[in-house]
Amino acid sequence: MLRLLPLEAPAARHSQVCGSSLLGRSSVQTRAHPRAPPLKAEAARSNRPERERSATMALRRLLLPLVLLFALLPPGRVASAGGDGGEPAEFEIPRDGTVVELDESNFDAAVRAVDYLFVDFYAPWCGHCKRLAPQLDEAAPVLAGLSTPIIIAKVNADKYRKLGSKYGVDGFPTLMLFDHGVPSEYTDSRKADLLIENLKKLVAPDVSVLESDSSIKSFVEAAGINFPLFIGFGVDESLIAEYGAKYKKKAWFSTAKDFSEDMMVLYDFDKFPALVSVNPKYNEQSVFYGPFEGTFLEDFIRQSLLPLTVPTNRETVKLLKDDGRKVVLTILEDELDENAPQLVKVLRSAANANHDLVFGFVGVKQWEEFTETFDVKGSQLPKIIVWDTKEEYEVVEGSERLEEGDYGSQVSRFLEGYRSGKTIKKNVGRGSPSLLGLNAIYILIFLVAILVALMYFSRQGEEEERPRRTHQD
């Protein structure tokens, strides 16, 4: 027997299932809405793709001008427009030659905007930083006015430690040159004049190509007098490119393609290819005709980085140590003594014949703490020794002191004795801060500062603890 079930609208039954599965109890409310008329629902569905296409076309018409606008913007503006940490849309490169103060909000934008950015990471409490500041102020307008501008900036790395940590700043001041965004630490002289010369050299090409006599003259003038320079007359650039990069911090390098006989007379060479070394600070010049292969070329370049006789002081002693050769060091009472020029002339002649050694001189009056490490107290001067630039030096038996008079023969006997091994080795004295090294001094000062700080905070803790105990009692 068949049982007839009560009829129920299909749409209503479907509405109840969906509502209960999605909305729980609220599904009961769906019964109150009758199903949409089939024709209207179908029409709505058929119009939906057309509406979507219209919206897409409108969006494209809106975005196209924006894309064209960004394409026309300079790269620097586009890159910095979306910077992190509230970066400005654009870093304005200063034109007045002042030192720019940077922080975490504008540092990255500055690095992107400036081709050559020289940054001083400093701390306000640092004494060295305070002494450096006037040197940077003096150098800033000169560097900003170059044909290839260098902008000097500073960052309080004690305050913005995250920024300092990003670039490995672990002491103050730390100086860095950002060359098209690539950082490298600067450790050379901080005096304004030498700082300018060093930075000019660092941003110059490894090897400049000179096309005429006038360009040769311009190159020499721009190089200044503080560093030696090399001009390869008729020398292919590829032959010295390696050394131009290797010794870039120490000298200027160039090749001259076209030049007149006037240049040959001026630089004293009679054939080419010829590599001319000029040391304008010491008025010295030498010529290398080859061979331009093996170690010959580099030996000439390396030996020409120093003058034939080096006045030894706090700046040049680093060059002597970097050179690697032993130093024939003559110690005088005073470099300004009337007999000093005659002796230096003899040393220069000896240096010309002994390129495996460096010849230097120093006056006790000019640098007493350094000369004392070679046991000059009680010695008769001038005194001549051979120093390994580290911990030892040698004296030649019977030729330690130079008598006034025939310096030439005495220096020759000294060198003969040294070559034949008639020497006595001695240790460099330990009393001089110059040979203990600045690093050791800094470490000692740092340890003392830590000890003082610990004592101070210990006392502060005791003072804070006393009233607390009194209050508890």
* Prior bond of 65 cis (ω within 30°): no
Q: Give CA–CA dist 150/118, Å, rounded.
A: 7
Smallest CA-to-CA distance from 438 within 446, 450, 426 is with: 446
Between CA 367 and CA 334 the distance in angstroms is 10
18 catalytic? Reply is no
Phi–psi pair at 184, nearest 5 degrees: -145, 140
DSSP annotation of 259 reads: -
The whole-angstrom separation of Cα 96 and Cα 147 is: 15
Q: Is the peptide bond before 94 cis (omega within 30 degrees of 0)?
A: no
Residue 133's SS3 state is helix
Catalytic residue among 99, 123, 129, 328: 129
Q: Coil, strand or helix: which one is 383?
A: strand
Tracing tokens 């004690």 back to the chain, one arrives at 158
- Burial grade of 251 (CB within 10 A; 0-12, 13-18, 19 or more): buried
What are 277's two structure tokens? 């070394």
**Paired residues of 362 in beta bridges:** 331
Strand partners, 361: 311, 330
DSSP string, 327-356: EEEEEES-TTSTTHHHHHHHHHHHHHH-TT
3-state secondary structure of 56: helix
Return the beta strands (E) in 48-126 as ranges: 100-102, 116-122
Q: What one-character-per-residue DSSP string does 429-449 give?
A: PS--HHHH-HHHHHHHHHHHH
Q: Which of 126, 225, 239, 305 is catalytic?
A: 126
Instruction: Sort strands 309-311 and 358-363 into parallel, antiparallel or unpaired.
Output: parallel
Integer angstrom CA distances of residue 347 from 168, 309, 329, 352, 385: 45, 7, 10, 9, 13
Active centre residues (catalytic): 126, 129
